[in-house]
């Protein structure tokens, strides 16, 4: 026992020293102009928390970005979506800074990336770089701001990650001195939720959502309930709204829940779907943060009592609820409401679906011609699952409806569907299609032994489809190719999507990037002007089933 106590104290000391060292990390601003944010760390996003600060660049691209500390370029990513183009700088202070959506890198970095892209004949790349290859000084210009990838407007996405475990860390404490904020968070509504079969709200097992301006009314409840709150933060000098840094719930002066968005791991990111009222989000896009920790949700930023945020109303008296919202600058706002205990009948919970997905065990779902495995931890709490098989003798496979309501899966789960007939001999052309309402998309898949196998992390309607149609290539602005070399193509594929592409000019690979469905030349200077013969250009595009489109063009 004594040894265990000594080990625990040693660990606490190490963690304390590490935390003190991190708080002393000194970062300069990435820009030489006053900072305004369009998004903060922890802001609620579809399937993830926002993992950094989005810094405004005045609605334009091309602003010089400075390294926030000395270090070395450890990674460069070039993607079609996501960060677009991103630069990682590892620092000796325990952090790595990440700069996303940049339009270009500093010359020495750009040269290194271009060399890799041409050697591998690819625009998309994820390059890991050893220390000493690309060192940078604090304040050195390392890139120009842009609007690349999944970006809704020009800005810099700035992250801090821990070097020891890769966790995303809130950059605000390190850049707070460059910002101003005297505005407190504001709530829009409160949610009161009965636990199925264990509680009721005003005689009903339905949740109750109430506007934040209507909290003076009293609510009656009996049994086990929990609450939630929808809120946004604001900052001085801008009309943007942000995520709330801290949400604390007290009941009769006892703290029963707290969320603190200061650090999150990549694996935890999708657990946001267990934190929010996912059904409300799926229906209205409103983000209600539940003050409840589902049994399968291990998100560290949620702190609860032993009851996981559930409040037991078992006395006929008033229960006083108090929410305290706080931002990174100490601005606070409080919301109060009362729930009156009133003895009421609590109907037992009776599942309506024929199956249950259990959060703490592996679930195997089988229908004729379908196998789905949902491993332990893929749902955050026990969830009803309804399944249906839709038969059509003319189809390659049956249609399988897997309906868990508005329930997300935490990760990818293996799915296989049997093929009933093979109208196309080339089995590489078979894939699994997912449909949700009018939306449909390929989830990929490979054929083997009469089955097409893929992995899915959302549920819906699934079937096997065939893709034998090549992508489309449409040249844009051909008349100007000769003068400005702004060579572009629109490429599209209606079934399995664009998987790869290459462009050759006079037999030599020339780098093109796919940006919002347009292939855009990256190095127009590589095409010489004034040559005695027309240039011959070849475009090759493949989709997810290997169908290939190949077009040739000539220009001077």
Instruction: Write the pLDDT tens digit of every residue in 97-153.
Output: 999 999 999 999 999 999 999 999 999 999 999 999 999 999 999 999 999 988 989
* Secondary structure of residue 554 in the 3-state scheme: strand
The alpha-helical segments, DSSP class H, found in 285-361 are: none
Q: Which two three-digit tokens encode residue 52?
A: 């950094």
pLDDT for 24: 67
Task: Give dist(CA 251, CA 399) in Å, integer.
Answer: 49
The bridge status of strand 263-264 relative to strand 311-313 is: unpaired
Please state, in angstroms and rounded to a whole number, the distance separating the CA atoms of residues 420 and 134.
55
- Helical H segments across 24-178, by residue range: 107-120, 172-175
Rounded to whole angstroms, the Cα distance separating 246 from 530 reads 63
CB 76 within 8 Å of CB 115: no
Residue 122 CB contacts under 8 Å (≥ 6 apart), including other chains = none
Confidence (pLDDT) at 15: 41
pLDDT given at position 480: 87
Read off the DSSP letter of residue 478: G
DSSP-derived letter for residue 348 is P
Q: Binning pLDDT at 50, 70 and 90, where does residue 1 land? A: very low
Return the pLDDT at 454: 98
- Report, as an integer, the average pLDDT of 10-23: 40
Is the distance from CB of 143 to CB of 105 less than 8 angstroms? yes
pLDDT > 70 fraction of the chain, expressed in percent and rounded: 96
Cα dihedral sign, 112-116-121-124 = negative
Which residues, 6+ apart, have CB-to-CB distance to 62 below 8 Å?
103, 144, 145, 146
- pLDDT digits over 355-387, tens only? 999 999 999 999 999 999 999 999 999 999 999
**Cα end-to-end span (Å), the chain:** 83
Element (H, E) at 275: helix 272-275
Residues in contact with 449: Cβ distance below 8 Å, sequence separation at least 6, in sequence order = none
pLDDT tier at 409 (50, 70, 90 boundaries)? very high
Strands 71-78 and 186-201: unpaired
Give the pair of three-digit tokens for residue 350: 């009776």
- Beta carbons within 10 angstroms of residue 62's beta carbon: 12
Residue 425 pLDDT class (50, 70, 90 cuts)? very high
Would the pTM count as exceeding 0.95? no
Spatial distance between the Cα atoms of 474 and 537, rounded to a whole number of angstroms? 13
Per-residue pLDDT, 27: 97
Amino acid 338: pLDDT: 97
Percentage, residues of the chain above pLDDT 90: 88
Compute, in degrees rounded to 10, the torsion defined by CA atoms 29, 32, 33, 38: -40
**What pairs with residue 551 in β-bridges?**
539
Rounded Cα distance between 520 and 298, Å, is 43
**Both tokens assigned to 524:** 């127009």
- Please report where in the chains the tokens 């935490």 appear, as a residue: 410
The yes-or-no verdict on residue 87 having pLDDT over 80 is yes
Domains of the chain: 25-177 (2.70.70.10), 186-341 (2.70.50), 355-466 (2.60.220.30), 472-555 (2.60.40.10)
Distances (CA, A) of 390 to 266, 302, 399: 37, 41, 5
Cβ–Cβ < 8 Å for 273, 408: yes
Per-residue confidence (pLDDT) for residue 374, from 0 to 100: 98
What span, in angstroms and rounded, lies between the C-alpha atoms of 118 and 130?
Answer: 20
Confidence of residue 16 (pLDDT cuts 50, 70, 90): very low
pLDDT in tens, 300-321: 999 998 999 999 999 999 999 9
Q: Is residue 14 within a helix (H) or strand (E), and if so which, with residue range?
A: helix 2-23
* Separation between Cα atoms, residue 460 and residue 465, nearest integer Å: 15
Q: Cβ distance 138 to 93 under 8 Å?
A: no
Mean pLDDT, residues 265-293 taken together: 96
Residue 538, pLDDT > 50, answer yes
With a cut of 50, say whether residue 2 has pLDDT above it. no
Q: How do the residues of the chain divide into helix, strand and coil, expressed in percent and rounded to 5?
A: 15, 45, 45
Distance CA 262, CA 246 (A): 9
pLDDT of amino acid 529: 81
pLDDT score at 391? 86
Q: Is the pLDDT assigned to residue 228 strictly greater than 50?
A: yes
Instruction: Report the C-alpha gap between 319 and 252 in whole angstroms.
Output: 6
pLDDT value at residue 427: 97
Angle at 491 between CA 486 and CA 496, to 5 degrees: 155
pLDDT beyond 70 at 5: no
Question: Could you report the per-residue pLDDT of 41-77, keeping only the tens digit for each?
Answer: 999 999 999 999 999 999 999 999 999 999 999 999 9
- Return the number of other C-beta atoms located less than 10 Å from residue 556's C-beta: 12
**Please, what is the average pLDDT of the chain?**
93
Q: Which residues contact 330 (CB under 8 A, 6 or more apart)?
A: none
Tell me the C-alpha to C-alpha distance, in Å, between residue 391 and each of 211, 394, 454, 463.
46, 9, 21, 11
Mean local confidence (pLDDT), 500-512: 96
Helix (H) or strand (E) holding 280: helix 278-284
The answer to whether 150 and 82 are in contact (CB under 8 A) is yes
* Predicted local confidence at residue 150, as pLDDT: 87
């Amino acid at each position: 026992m004594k040894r265990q106590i000594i080990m625990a104290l040693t660990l606490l000391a190490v963690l304390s020293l590490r935390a003190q060292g991190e708080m002393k990390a000194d970062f300069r601003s990435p820009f030489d102009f006053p900072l305004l944010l369009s998004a903060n760390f922890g802001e609620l996003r579809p399937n993830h928390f926002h993992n950094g600060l989005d810094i405004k660049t005045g609605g334009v691209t091309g602003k010089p970005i400075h390294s926030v500390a000395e270090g070395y370029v450890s990674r460069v990513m070039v993607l079609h979506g996501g960060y677009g183009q991103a630069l990682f700088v590892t620092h000796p202070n325990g952090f790595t800074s990440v700069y996303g959506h940049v339009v270009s890198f500093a010359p020495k970095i750009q040269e290194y990336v271009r060399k890799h892209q041409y050697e591998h004949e690819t625009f998309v790349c994820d390059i890991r770089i050893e220390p000493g290859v690309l060192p940078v000084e604090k304040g050195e210009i390392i890139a120009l701001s842009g609007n690349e990838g999944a970006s809704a407007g020009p800005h810099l996405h700035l992250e801090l990650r821990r070097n020891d475990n890769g966790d995303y860390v809130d950059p605000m404490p390190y850049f707070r001195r460059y910002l101003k904020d005297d505005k407190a968070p504001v709530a829009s509504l409160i949610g009161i939720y009965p636990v199925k079969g264990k509680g009721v709200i005003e005689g009903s097992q339905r949740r109750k959502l109430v506007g934040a301006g209507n909290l003076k009314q009293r609510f009656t409840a009996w049994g086990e309930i929990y609450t939630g709150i929808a809120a946004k933060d604001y900052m001085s000098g801008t009309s943007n709204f942000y995520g709330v840094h801290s949400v604390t719930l007290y009941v009769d002066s006892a703290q029963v829940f707290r969320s603190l968005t200061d650090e999150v791991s990549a694996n935890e990111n999708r657990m946001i779907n267990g934190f929010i009222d996912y059904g409300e989000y799926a229906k209205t896009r409103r983000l209600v943060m539940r003050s409840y920790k589902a049994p399968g949700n291990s998100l560290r930023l949620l702190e609860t009592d032993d009851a996981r945020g559930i409040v037991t109303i078992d006395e006929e008296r008033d229960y006083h609820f108090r929410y305290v919202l706080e931002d990174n600058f100490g601005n606070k706002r409080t919301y109060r409401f009362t729930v009156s205990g009133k003895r009421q009948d609590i109907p037992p919970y009776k599942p309506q679906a024929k199956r249950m997905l259990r959060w703490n065990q592996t679930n195997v779902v089988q229908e004729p011609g379908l196998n789905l495995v949902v491993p332990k931890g893929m749902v955050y709490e026990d969830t009803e699952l309804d399944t249906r098989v839709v038969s059509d003798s003319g189809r390659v496979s049956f249609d399988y409806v897997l309906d868990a309501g508005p329930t997300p899966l935490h990760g990818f789960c293996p799915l296989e569907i049997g093929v009933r007939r093979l109208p196309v001999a080339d089995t590489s052309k078979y894939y699994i299609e997912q449909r949700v309402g009018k939306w449909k998309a390929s989830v990929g898949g490979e054929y083997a032994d009469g089955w097409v196998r893929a992995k899915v992390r959302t549920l819906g309607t699934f079937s096997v489809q065939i893709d034998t149609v090549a992508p489309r290539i449409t040249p844009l602005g051909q008349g100007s190719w000769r003068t400005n070399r702004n060579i572009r193509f629109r490429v599209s594929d209606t079934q399995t999507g664009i998987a790869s592409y290459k462009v050759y000019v006079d037999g030599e690979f020339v780098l093109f990037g796919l940006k919002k469905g347009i292939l855009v030349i990256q190095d127009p200077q590589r095409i010489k002007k004034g040559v005695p013969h027309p240039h011959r250009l070849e475009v090759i595009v493949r989709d997810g089933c290997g169908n290939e489109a190949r077009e040739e063009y000539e220009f001077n």
